[in-house]
């Protein structure tokens, strides 16, 4: 029997595009030209935002036999846990359904930004960003309960969770497309190097955690993960906050390869939106 649960839709990013394109017209901030009489300078800063990863590698956390030989079915078959499972389910049990939709949650983005502004039109920059991705889904257990007075079995949803670390290094250039006395709006183009590592994958039954093991056949001592490459574009809006301090709203579209396993190295799009504070 298949049980279908409602699909949760991602939030739309249309508002971000609207704000970043309209702010150059609407914003009236501190005098940009007066602040930037010397238009070449080094800058550095911090950034925080939201990261919307694609779900191309999320299936790795599903605990399904197609992904690992040490998933949910393996945990349920371990002899030392049999009494615990028998006491909890009380009646014969089986896996009715693996996670229907494998997806990551939106992640917090934190990083540093530095670069050199050659003039008001062109800058070089580097970003180093860190992410902690979470996977939170459910699998379904069937319980052959003879006391439920129904032709159907009982079903129980149980959580399956995953944790993943990512680091992104972006190197590129920013080109201004709109300059006034108040603001500087720009487009950034960059290359990307990323490092991904699966930290943990586990299920919870009766408030106890049971680890799922994901082994790379070519290196049994190493967690899934590796180095990938890509590139992307940024749409940003800088404005003066104070003496030698700038604010920077940004939206980033990123296309990268995510290297999890030898047979799982998909390429896909990611999005992020956030805010920087820059000193120069």
> Residue 30: its pLDDT value, please?
44
Classify 18 as helix, strand or coil: helix
Please list the alpha-helical segments (H only) found in the chain: 14-26, 32-35, 72-77, 82-89
Under the banding of pLDDT at 50, 70 and 90, the label for residue 87 is very high
- For 105-115, what is each residue's pLDDT tens digit? 999 999 999 99
pLDDT surpasses 50 at 31: no
pLDDT: which is higher, 14 or 68:
68
Classify 200 as helix, strand or coil: strand
pLDDT surpasses 50 at 148: yes
- Stretch 222-247: mean pLDDT, rounded? 91
pLDDT surpasses 80 at 209: yes
Question: Which residue, chain included where needed, has tokens 């590796």?
Answer: 226
Lowest model confidence (mean pLDDT) among 31-40, 110-119, 205-214, 257-266: 31-40
Burial bucket for residue 170 (CB in 10 Å: 0-12, 13-18, 19+)? buried
> Residue 18: its pLDDT value, please?
44
Burial bucket for residue 9 (CB in 10 Å: 0-12, 13-18, 19+)? exposed
């Amino acid at each position: 029997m298949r049980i279908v649960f409602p699909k949760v839709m991602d939030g739309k990013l249309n508002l971000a595009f609207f704000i970043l394109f309209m702010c150059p017209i609407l914003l009236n901030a501190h005098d940009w030209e007066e602040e930037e009489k010397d238009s070449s300078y080094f800058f550095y800063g911090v950034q925080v935002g939201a990261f919307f990863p694609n779900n191309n590698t999320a299936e790795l956390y599903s605990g399904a036999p197609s992904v690992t030989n040490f998933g949910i079915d393996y945990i349920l078959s371990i002899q030392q846990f049999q009494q615990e499972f028998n006491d909890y389910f009380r009646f014969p049990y089986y896996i009715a359904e693996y996670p229907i939709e494998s997806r990551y949650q939106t992640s917090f983005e934190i990083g540093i930004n530095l670069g050199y502004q050659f003039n008001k039109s062109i800058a070089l920059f580097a970003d180093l960003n860190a992410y902690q991705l979470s996977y939170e889904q459910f699998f379904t257990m069937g319980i052959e309960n003879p006391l439920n007075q129904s032709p159907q079995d009982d079903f129980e949803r149980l959580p399956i969770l995953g944790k993943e670390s990512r680091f992104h290094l972006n190197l590129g250039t920013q080109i201004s497309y709109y300059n006034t006395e108040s603001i500087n709006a720009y487009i950034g183009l960059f290359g990307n190097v990323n490092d991904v590592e699966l930290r943990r994958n586990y299920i919870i039954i009766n408030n106890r955690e049971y680890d799922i093991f994901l082994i790379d056949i070519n290196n049994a001592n190493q967690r899934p993960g590796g180095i990938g490459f890509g590139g992307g574009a940024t749409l940003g809006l800088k404005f003066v906050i104070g003496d030698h301090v700038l604010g920077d709203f940004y939206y980033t579209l990123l296309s990268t390869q995510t290297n999890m396993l030898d047979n799982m190295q998909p390429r896909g799009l990611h999005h992020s939106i956030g805010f920087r504070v820059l000193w120069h």
